[in-house]
Amino acid sequence: MNLLSDLVMRIKVANTAKILKINVINSKLCLNILKVMYKLGYIRGFIVIDSKTITVLLKYINNKPVIKNIYVISTPGRRVYLKSKELKRQIDKKDSGFYIISTSKGLMTDEEVLLFNIGGEALIKIS
């Protein structure tokens, strides 16, 4: 299992069990995704424990998780790349959520990608 799938599955399981904090494997990708999620208010924060572990503090409002649905779009066996125009079509029909996309300028949300008019690999979708 790759690191991105591991992060997503741990968040899903913790939300189902209403666990306040989880430990994930420390990597650049996980750290950058957690920064984006924190910036948008989907998690309370995260703490880098050591070179192998990050503790993620999940966020709940009225005893309900803020992250209702999270899933991986690109996998190691099936990469999904979106151009700016394709992403705009996806956003027009999307529900209340956002994509995290890996671009040449780093990880960005779907709104930032449209602002810069660039494309990239769609990693995860969070709602």
Per-residue pLDDT tens digits of the chain, which is 127 residues long: 589 999 999 999 999 999 999 999 999 999 999 999 999 999 999 999 999 999 999 999 999 999 999 999 999 899 999 888 888 887 777 566 789 999 999 999 988 999 999 999 999 999 8
CATH, residue 97:
3.30.1490.10
DSSP 72: E
Q: What is the pLDDT, as a whole number, of residue 14?
A: 95
Q: Domain with 33 in it: what CATH number?
A: 3.30.1370.30
Torsion region of 70: left, alpha or beta (phi above 0 gives left; psi -120 to 50 gives alpha): beta
Shared domain check, 82 and 54: no
Q: Domain range for residue 16?
A: 3-65
